[in-house]
Structures are given as C-alpha cells and as structure tokens.
Amino acid sequence: MAAAIEPFPEPPARAPDVDDDFSAPELRADLWVAEYLPHWTTPARSRARYELVPGTGIRLLIEEDQLDWREEDAPLRVSNLQTGVFSGPLGSQRGTHRHRPDGLTVRTETPERLLWAPTAGRVDVTVSASTDEGCMLAAWLVGVENLSAEHAGEICLFEIDASAIGRAETRARCGLKAHGDASLVTDMAEVVVPVDASQPHTWSVVWGPEGTVIGCDGRVVRRIPQAPDYPLFLMLDLFETGGRSGAAEAYPKSAVIHSVRGWADGSPNTTG
C-alpha cells in the first residue's frame, strides 16, 4: 500500500518579503551577495560566476578557469548567492558558517550586511539542478553568528548530487545540521522524490518554534522537531567537488535558480 502524501502547508496570504525571479537586468544588490563565505578566503576565490537569463532565472556557473574556493579545500569550486555576510576582524575565527574543524580564520574582513536573515519563516526556491559531472546544487539557511558564535545551526533545504538525478526520481539530502550549536542535534536524511530534478521544481521549508518542515512540489518530505531560533541567511550554491573533469567543452557546468520567495515570521533582522 502506497504511503499517504502529506500536502505541504500553503504559503502565507500576504505578499512575500522576498520575491525574486532574477528578471532585473542586474543581480539585486539589496538582496544578494554573489560570493561564497568571502571572509574565509580571498575575493578571487569566493566570487560567483553566473549569467542572468531573461524569462528563466539565474544560471550559476562553474567555469574551467575558476579557482578552488580555498587552496586547503581543493578540489572544491563554487558559485554561490547568499542574503547576507558577517565576519570578525582579520585573523579571527569569528564568522558565518564555521563548518570546518581545522581552524578557519578570517582572510578577508567583511563588514556585516544582513540583507535578509529571518529567525523563523518560510522559503520557496524553484531550481533546475545540475547534471554535470561532479556537481552538487544546494540550498541552506545558516546561522549568521553575529550575535553569538553558538548561533551556528543550519537548515539544509536540499543537497542534490548530479549523479543522484534520474528521469523518474531524484535522491536528495535534507534536514538540520547542528555545527557549533549545542542546543541542536544533527538530523540529516536522504529522501527520494518522484521528480527529475534537472527540470524546474520547487523546494520549500517552514521553520519556527514548532520545528522544521521541508517539502518538494507541494508535498512534505521531512518533518524535524527542532529549528534554529536566531537569524539565518539563505545560501544557494553550485559546487564542483570532484576536481576538473571532462574536456574543455564540458564547461561551463551549470544549474538554474528560477525564483526565490521568502516570508519572515517576527523581526526580519535586516540591515541595509
């Protein structure tokens, strides 16, 4: 007997606080930082490669001449959009997403900018994931850590490996990662969704005091009875994790973000 399909909650009746289909002639500077955790590396390594495609969205790119995010992490190349940035002073270990245990230190001091960082709310992201060799598309909400280094939890809306995409179904990882937040317990799982993730599909998350709910195309895929309760900003990432692969003609590798909508519950915790 097939499992019952649980419908995902309807979005709020009010207009979203964030609504971007990337149809503007330039990437919105009031919403997006087009770098991947720039404080832990240098500008040439953190800067995103992308193109705006009218009527389609933003195409994140991994190009043949792109540098690894950090030499210590090679091979790892990434193009990322995020809705904020924060770091401590140069040489310190303060900064958003201290996701490695090997002593990350600030290499590029980055003034705090929280363009959208709610403490609770909802996000809907419509994407076409990459099928290019060695690539992964991900969407995360990560603790800013500007108020406390313990505010380090992460909601993983999805991580989709190119090799996990099929014509009838896709495997994805989703859930919650505690990182440096002792009040949370990491709870990640692989889910199978009946979609070809290389085509446009909408992933959603609602989080708040009652926990975290993650969905795909209007159906619930995970419920988690915990959630961070501090400012989180959104990260949309295309990674190449296996090193350069294929001939020059294999580049650029790409994934498409078609649209992003977000609603903040309570204070949006934004600054200009």
d(CA 9, CA 157) in angstroms, rounded, equals 15
Give the predicted TM-score (pTM) of the model.
0.94
Question: How does pLDDT run across 188-239, given as a tens digit for each residue?
Answer: 999 999 999 999 999 999 999 999 999 999 999 999 999 999 999 999 999 9
Q: Is 212 left (phi over 0), alpha (psi -120 to 50) or beta?
A: beta
Task: Please state the domain extents for the chain.
Answer: 18-264
Section 259-272 average pLDDT:
69
d(CA 133, CA 241) in angstroms, rounded, equals 9
d(CA 41, CA 110) in angstroms, rounded, equals 11
Phi then psi for residue 46, to 5 deg, are -90, -20
CB 7 within 8 A of CB 206: no
* CATH topology for the 18-264 domain: Jelly Rolls (2.60.120)
Biggest alpha carbon–alpha carbon distance for the chain: 58
Structure tokens at 102: 């090997």
Beta bridge partners, 222, equal: 214
In sequence order, the 6+-apart residues with CB closer than 8 A to the CB of 208 are 120, 121, 227, 265
Q: pLDDT band for 1, please (50, 70, 90 cuts).
A: very low
Has residue 136 got a pLDDT over 60? yes
DSSP alpha helix (H) spans, the chain: 43-46
Has residue 72 got a pLDDT over 80? yes
* Cβ neighbours, 10 Å, residue 67: 14
Mean pLDDT, all residues of the chain: 94
Would you call 71 helix, strand, or coil by DSSP? Answer: helix
Q: Which of 4-18, 98-112, 176-190, 249-263 has the lowest mean pLDDT?
A: 98-112
Place of tokens 């091979």: 75
Has residue 2 got a pLDDT over 60? no
Place of tokens 């975290």: 212
